[in-house]
Every structure is written in C-alpha cells, then in structure tokens.
Amino acid sequence: MQVIIGSTDITEYIQEKTYDINAQRSYTSWTDSNFREHRDNIYEKISGSFQMVFFDGYSVNGVTVDKFADLLDLVEANTTDGVTTLRLTVNNLNAELKTISCYVDIQANPMLYAKNGSNVVVKRVTFNVQEQ
C-alpha cells in the first residue's frame, strides 16, 4: 500500500486496515442464441477510500505542527479543474502502483483533544478516490 501525491508519499498517515482501493470493470453483456452470456469490457476505473490519522497541535522548535493542513495544501497544489493526479496501490491489480487522474473527497471526522494538558489534537479523515 502506497499513496503519492506529487512527489510526497503520504502512506505513513494511512490506517492500513482501512485501505480499500480497487479497480472496477464496466462492461456490456449480451446473450447469444444458445443462452450463453458474453461480456465486452468497456473500461476500468479505480475507486475506493482509506482513513488517515494526524497528530497535530504540538510545537517543534517553536513551530506548531499541522500535518492535516499540509495534506490539504498538497492536494490543492496537485489539483487542476477539480481533478487530482496521484499514484496509488490498487489492491485487485496485484498491488500495482498506478498513476491516475481522479476526484478526491476528504471527509473530516470529529477531532479528539488530548486531555493531558498538551495541545495535541487527533484528526481522523476519510480520503475518497474516484478515477475520472
């Protein structure tokens, strides 16, 4: 499992058990006079989702860490006319690393605040991908 946006590998933030990226085939089917079904492949599109977790809000050398904001900036920098180019592993294609142009939808789940006196915030997001 690997996801690369631009030249940045974001795999370290992905929750491995949630990674569900697969290729779906679209086809037309027809039945001949012997009642046998035939299928003609039209195209194949990659889609799916995975969850990511970020620990933000703490300071390093006086700078507050916000990796989630960095992800949003990275997606925006690699998006043109609503389409994002990224490379990712496709599970049902023998874990092949494919480059695709896709629509990305990022849904943020409620943030969890550490109640230990620190400023750490746990941000969990769902990253949805659908090939154009």
pLDDT digits (tens, 9 = 90+) for 54-91: 988 877 788 888 899 999 999 999 999 999 999 999 99
For residue 112, the one-letter residue type is L
Which residue, chain included where needed, has tokens 């990674």? 19
Q: Around Cβ 22, how many Cβ atoms within 10 Å? A: 12
* 25 burial via Cβ count (<10 Å: 0-12, 13-18, 19+): exposed
Q: What is the pLDDT of residue 117?
A: 67
- Please report, in tens digits, the pLDDT of each residue of the chain (132 residues total): 899 999 999 999 999 999 999 998 877 888 888 888 888 877 789 999 999 999 888 777 888 888 999 999 999 999 999 999 999 999 988 888 999 999 999 998 877 777 766 778 888 999 999 999
User: Any alpha helices (H) in the chain, and if so which ranges?
Assistant: 67-77
Sequence spans of domains, the chain: 3-26+45-131
∠ CA 86-104-16, nearest 5°, is 70
Give the C-alpha separation, 128 to 111, whole Å: 19
